[in-house]
Chains A and B, each alone.
Chain A
């Protein structure tokens, strides 16, 4: 049981390039989330999804897009990378039980130069 997996682990992008951060979970969780963590800060929610085909914005969605075509996958796309998007990105998933505890992946470190 792998839980939540993220690829790549680390990536350097040039300003204006695009990329997709991959996230996959094998726990059959309905809910999935993308967070970013800036140095010395807590996590901020970018986008979330409550099921295949359903996504919604979080606190800091600008500059990002998501899709959810399957229960397992929730990719995050950066269309025009900017230095302000240098961060560590975490994907998480949860099952809609009473407390909806979120389980996190290991993160993707992104550097935009």
Chain B
């Protein structure tokens, strides 16, 4: 069975500092990997996704993530955090071309941004 672990429940970062969110997955084949962001009271918005090709993926809002097969990781990074990046971030893994792609989500990492 597929699973996703986000080891950090909360992260506090100063505005302008860099941010890295960790994601480790367990899956028997090449996975589809996603990062979603959820702002307070809102639904989930896709930041970026990986399913093949270049292992460094660029997303919206200046985020990027790197797929490392040897470490079963898909960590999310941003070089300089803005106050508007305060939100909860979810990593998810899905099956390739399965009928009704079923995502498995990690528990989320809540990011707080200090002025």
Contacts and interface: CB of A to CB of B under 8 A. Distances in A.
Interface of A: 4, 31, 33, 40-45, 48-50, 56, 58, 90, 92, 94, 96, 98-107
Contacts of A56: 100
Nearest to A4: B43
- The contact size tier of chain B is 20 to 34
Given A40-B107, A45-B103, A48-B100, A100 B94 contact: yes
Contacts of B106: 42
A49 B100 CA distance: 7
A92 B94 CA distance: 14
B100 A106 contact: no
Interface stretch (B14-22, B44-52, B65-73, B76-84): B44-52
Given A42-B108, A99-B32, A100-B94, A105 B100 contact: no
A52 to B, nearest CB: 13
Interface string B19-55: 0000000000000101010000011111001010000
A90 B43 contact: yes
A94 B101 CA distance: 9
B4 to A, nearest CB: 7
